[in-house]
Amino acid sequence: MLAFDPIIEEFSAPANSVAGQSCPSWRDAAFPVVDVFAGPGGLGEGFSLSSDEKGRPCFKSVVSIERDLFSHQTLLLRHFIRQFREGEAPDEYYTFLKGGMTRDEMYRLYPEAYANAASSALRISLGPESHTEVKKIIRDRVGECRRWALVGGPPCQAYSLVGRSRMMGRKDFAADERHTLYLEYLRIIVDHRPPVFVMENVKGLLSATIDGKSAITRIVRDLSHPGTAIPGAPDDLSYKLYSLTEQDMAEGDVDPRLFVVRAEEYGIPQARHRMFIVGIRGDLKVRPGSLKKMIAPTVQETIGSLPSIRSSLSKAKDSPAAWQSELRAISSMNVRRQLNGAVYASDVAKALDFQKLIEVKSPHQISSSRYSMRKPAHEVLRSLYDGRLTVLTAHEARSHMASDLRRYLYAATFAEKTGRSPKLADFPTSLLPDHKNVEEGRIGKMFSDRFRVQLAGHVSTTITSHISKDGHYFIHYDPTQCRSLTVREAARLQTFPDNYFFAGPRTEQYHQVGNAVPPQLARQIADIVAEVLHAVPDEQ
């Protein structure tokens, strides 16, 4: 069943509207791309950024499918913005970002652009009930075009290492739809025979099993020969599968580990390891190029220009004075003695000067919309900035318990002095959490890095959807701020542009950012796919 977004109502253009001036005619030469399981649009954003030597876009998103309500709202808004030439988004979009008008009001001013966006960004739950309708939609949008791409990946929670360990005890784990949603992707391949597809999923898929058998082995087999999994699929349909990082990998049986892309090796400021499988239809004599390695910017280079803000207190009335009072308690803990002569004890204890850190340097505000116009030198980061942007969205700190604030202060100070994030064994006993398995963590048996600082001089660890639930794994490197990363900081580490708006409550925004493909990695992949499609003959 199709579940189109019920929030945006149908409307007609106001009588005095000067709207919809931007039409798709200027993009007619672009390759169509179909994006399924699109989330907030990370893959699609990257493909929209790919351009030829004359600056013309290589791809046009004709269908993007996502079933989550808030992710779809984000996706729809971005499709609306893409109806306009790069750098020519309407002034009303920036008014919307400042809170000066609603999305509906903006859409009403540009009815043609909205109609185009609403026809390409679809809220659909993929499955047997929607299969016939989805088949018709893609057939209508792709038409007779022989050169187009299918991209996307099924939801990854059931395959992820953390998600799988939590779900193994569930009786319905084996039947969880997220194990087999890739079959919906496969059915689209069978129905439409795209010349090239890109499938993305988590590295944890390498060790996942379905019915006791290797999940990745099954998926690679099915992608290579869809008829093995889809009844009635034509026998002549096959795909050659390629890695994006191993140019010389042999065709035929391959080591699935070669499909893993380490994003930090390609300019993304994050150690994000994901699987990308490129499939090229068997009748085509084309093979893709490889990603080109690039030094990634550090966490500080990526988020350091954002305004400093402090965390706020949860479970207590918050104010700058109350916040400082809770942190002041660390001064009476005699941290140096509790560190039991560790080599770093003196340096960390000396640096943990409450007066210098908190009373003098800490910011008072818990959010900021001030946008810095300072543009960095790094190629990847330059693309995140927007000279027309006057406000920053989604840069608001979460609230934390007072005891966690002190742990964050200690952890960030420790990281600053030692160059690494502390393990539980590095914490003074007075700052240890009151959890039953803390001692196991202290001796390294489990969750020893429960509090993880994102080091200023390195790339970040993987931004995951777990960031929506707590901030312990995503502590800001600056001790004076005592907080976890904001949505905007996480979005920058994922290389979303600063003008990218994430719909929904803050928890949902974190979830969208954590599950997305970094757009700047997707752009590099799109460049490779464009080269493949240019080599595909118009007639076969």
Residue position matching structure tokens 């318990």? 401
Q: What residues contact 180, with CB distance under 8 A and at least 6 apart? A: 210
Q: Tell which wins on pLDDT, 214 or 61.
A: 61
Same domain? 211 vs 104: yes
Judge whether 156 counts as a catalytic residue.
yes
In terms of domains, do 355 and 434 share one?
yes
Residues 259 and 338 placed together within one structural domain of the fold:
no
Helix, strand or coil for residue 59?
Answer: strand
pTM, entire model: 0.90
Q: Both tokens of residue 139?
A: 């057939």
Same domain, 501 and 525: no
Q: Which of 23, 58, 145, 156 is catalytic?
A: 156
| Helix intervals (H) in 152-194 | 161-167, 182-192
Is 249 in the same domain as 288?
A: yes
Per the structure, the count of domains in the chain is 2
Express each pLDDT in 99-132 by its tens digit.
Answer: 999 999 999 999 999 999 999 999 999 988 999 9
413 and 327 within one domain: yes
Q: Tell me, yes or no, whether 100 and 41 share the same domain.
A: yes
User: Do you know the residue count of the chain?
Assistant: 540
State yes or no: pLDDT of 2 exceeds 50: no
Q: Is residue 8 part of a domain?
A: no
Is 288 contained in some domain?
yes
Q: In this model, does residue 145 exceed pLDDT 80?
A: yes
Q: Which residues fall within 8 angstroms of residue 14, CB to CB, at 6 or more apart?
A: 108, 109
Looking at the structure, tell me whether residues 375 and 288 fall in a common domain. Answer: no
Cα 540 to Cα 530: distance, rounded to the nearest angstrom: 19
Same domain, 282 and 186: yes
10 within a domain of the structure (yes/no): no
Domain assignment present for 1: no
In a domain, 15, yes or no: no
Q: Looking at the structure, do residues 177 and 53 belong to the same domain, yes or no?
A: yes
* Domain harbouring 237, CATH code: 3.40.50.150
At residue 270, the 3 state secondary structure works out as strand
| Residue 11 resides in a domain | no
164 and 306 inside one domain: no
Query: Are 150 and 292 within one domain?
Result: yes
How far apart, in whole angstroms, are the C-alpha atoms of residue 447 and residue 443? 10
Q: Residue 33 carries which side chain, given as an amino acid letter?
A: V
The answer as to whether 373 is a domain residue is yes
**Minimal CA–CA distance to 175: which of 158, 163, 162?**
158
Residue 149 near residue 33 (C-beta atoms within 8 A): yes
pLDDT tens digits along 232-289: 888 889 999 999 998 765 555 678 889 999 999 999 999 999 999 999 999 999 999 9
Range of the domain at 379: 299-515
C-beta separation of 134 from 125 below 8 A: no
199: helix, coil or strand? strand
140 or 155, which is more confident? 140
In 3D space, the residue among 487, 476, 484, 504 whose CA is nearest the CA of residue 400 turns out to be 484
Please state, in angstroms and rounded to a whole number, the distance separating the CA atoms of residues 22 and 115.
12
Note whether residue 400 is domain-resident: yes
The number of angstroms, rounded, from the C-alpha of 539 to the middle of its chain's C-alpha atoms is 37
